[in-house]
Structures are given as structure tokens and as C-alpha cells.
């Protein structure tokens, strides 16, 4: 299949590790020039070095916090200044903290809004002028947008708003030649999932290994996802092969989500 990505330019946020890193690496393997950002200078430079070594492609590391509006605007501008344009925006951020309605404070709600919904809207606003003509916006959300996950109230609430945002923007941006889609990962083998499993293990009085085993048993394919498996879906949605797909949420979860 011809993906038509060679020479395109992408910005992937929160890309020093996990799903963001996997997405950036997979795009670079297809000949995309990549800008990646993270709050950690050491981590983002290490990630850039790995991607360069594995792919031979140009990688621009940017130190930025997507909860800060000025950092968002600067990340987009540095990408455009360095590469001469921008075609693909992959919006990613750390997941909101776990908790229930009674345990979460007002400040945690605001922090979750800044890190997920507002970071996405600000990234899209900054990138929009550069994406006109041929553009791809892909937002990494969660299966919580289709099926609420117990103990993840903030994710269940705020990520659903992102799906509403992207569905609307897919209509508004279609005349500009821009597609807007979400990928909704299920249980992937990342640091965040390990943290959630550790929390569940403490609450249930079981070992981390048992918590992980129980989680895998709930997945029809019987295992956690590998980050590169989500990355492949992102590459497809970014490609010419997906030029007639917009406004969609693609669930990548090994069959775990039960909704039709």
C-alpha cells in the first residue's frame, strides 16, 4: 500500500516515551520529518537520538509543556521554522490522574482540562494555518470515550469532550483538505498503565503481577497492546490511504471495548 508520507512533516507531542514515541518512530520509518516535544529535556533528546539512529530521518526535539499555551504555540512555530512547514499533528498528553468524584479536587479537574482538552484545542489552533491544503490531525484519546473506565472519572469526562471537538472540526476543516480523527487505545504496555495497575494492586491487596494478569484476562486477544500497534493505526490515518476517513474514532484495544 502506498502511504504517500515521504517528505511530510509532523509534530508529535508528549513523544519522549510510550505511545507518543512509538507514533513518532513509526512516522519517521515512513519518511516523515519529525518534531517531538516533552517537558523533560534529557528524555526528549534521548528519544530524538533513538529515532534518528533507527530511521535516519531528521528529528527536532523541543522542550515544551503542552499545558502552557506559550509552549504550545512555540512548539508549532519551531517545527515550521525548522522544517519549512507542517502536515501532520499528533496530539498526545499524559492521562489525567485516577480518582473518583469524591476524591478529586477542583485543582485536579483544572489540571486535567489543561493537559487534555485545552492542550488539544491550542495545538490545533496553532497548527491550523499550516495544515490548510493537505493536513492530518490525529488525537490520541482512550477507550474511555466509548466505555467509561472505573476509577478514571477525569478521563471518562474530558476525553469524551475531545471526541465532540474532533467530530465538529472534521466538518469545519473538510473544505481545507484537513482530516481530523481520534485513536482510542485500550490497555497498552506503558508506564502509565503500570502506574494504574500498581494502584489497583494496592487497593485489592494483590501483587502487581496478579493485577496485570487479571487485566490481560479481560482482553479477548489475551495480552496488553504493544505501543507500535497503536502507532501503525496513527500512520494509516496520517497517510494518503486514509484520505477519505475523517471524524472517526478508531478503537485499538484487542477487542476489550464491548460497545457496538
- At 79 the pLDDT is 98
pLDDT at 212 over 90: no
Assign 190 a pLDDT band (cuts: 50, 70, 90). Answer: confident
- At 197 the pLDDT is 82
- At 237 the pLDDT is 98
CATH superfamily of 9-186+226-249: NAD(P)-binding Rossmann-like Domain (3.40.50.720)
187 or 127: which leads in pLDDT: 127
Grid cell, residue 53, equals 539512529
Q: Are 153 and 100 in contact (CB under 8 A)?
A: yes
pLDDT tens digits, one per residue of 112-133: 999 999 999 999 999 999 999 9
Grid cell, residue 244, equals 477519505
pLDDT tens digits, one per residue of 47-68: 999 999 999 999 999 999 999 9
Mean pLDDT over 151-165 rounds to 95
How far lies 10's CA from each of 91, 121, 186, 256, in Å?
A: 11, 17, 24, 30
**Mean pLDDT taken over the chain:** 94
Distance CA 53, CA 170 (A): 35
pLDDT tens digits, one per residue of 240-254: 999 999 999 999 999
- At 22 the pLDDT is 97
Start-end of CATH 3.40.50.720 domains in the chain? 9-186+226-249
H runs (alpha helix) in the chain: 18-29, 41-55, 69-83, 106-112, 119-131, 153-173, 191-204, 208-217, 227-238
CA 125 to chain centre: 17
Q: What percent of the chain has pLDDT over 70?
A: 100
CA 43 to chain centre: 17
Assign 1 a pLDDT band (cuts: 50, 70, 90). Answer: low
Mean pLDDT over 218-246 rounds to 96
164 or 190: which leads in pLDDT: 164
Residues pairing with 85 in the sheet: none
Q: Are 164 and 174 in contact (CB under 8 A)?
A: no
pLDDT tens digits, one per residue of 12-49: 999 999 999 999 999 999 999 999 999 999 999 999 99
Planar angle of CA 67, 72, 73, nearest 5 degrees = 145
Distance CA 6, CA 28 (A): 9
Amino acid at each position: 500500500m502506498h502511504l504517500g508520507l515521504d517528505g511530510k512533516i509532523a509534530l508529535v507531542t508528549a513523544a519522549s516515551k510510550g505511545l507518543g514515541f512509538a507514533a513518532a518512530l513509526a512516522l519517521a520509518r515512513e519518511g516523515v520529518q519529525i518534531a517531538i516535544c516533552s517537558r523533560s529535556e534529557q528524555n526528549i533528546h534521548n528519544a530524538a537520538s533513538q529515532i534518528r539512529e533507527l530511521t535516519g530521518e531528521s528529528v527536532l526535539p523541543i522542550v515544551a509543556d503542552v499545558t502552557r499555551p506559550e509552549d504550545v504555540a512555540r512548539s508549532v512555530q519551531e517545527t515550521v521554522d525548522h522544517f519549512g512547514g507542517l502536515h501532520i499533528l499528533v496530539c498526545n498528553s499524559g492521562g489525567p490522574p485516577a480518582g473518583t468524584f469524591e476524591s478529586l479536587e477542583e485543582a485536579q479537574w483544572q489540571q486535567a482540562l489543561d493537559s487534555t482538552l485545552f492542550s488539544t484545542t491550542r495545538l490545533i489552533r496553532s497548527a491550523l494555518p499550516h495544515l490548510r491544503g493537505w493536513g492530518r490531525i490525529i488525537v490520541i484519546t482512550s477507550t474511555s470515550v466509548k466505555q467509561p473506565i472505573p476509577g478514571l472519572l477525569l478521563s471518562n469526562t474530558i476525553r469524551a469532550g475531545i471526541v465532540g471537538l474532533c467530530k465538529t472540526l472534521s466538518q469545519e476543516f473538510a473544505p481545507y483538505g484537513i482530516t481530523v480523527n481520534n485513536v482510542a487505545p485500550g490497555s497498552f504496555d506503558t508506564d502509565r498503565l503500570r502506574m494504574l495497575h500498581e494502584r489497583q494492586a494496592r487497593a485489592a491487596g494483590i501483587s502487581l503481577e496478579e493485577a496485570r494478569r487479571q487485566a490481560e484476562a479481560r482482553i479477548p486477544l489475551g495480552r496488553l497492546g504493544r505501543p507500535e500497534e497503536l502507532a501503525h493505526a496513527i500512520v494509516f490515518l496520517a497517510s494518503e490511504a486514509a484520505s477519505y476517513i475523517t471524524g472517526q474514532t478508531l478503537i485499538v484495544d484487542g477487542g476489550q471495548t464491548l460497545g457496538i
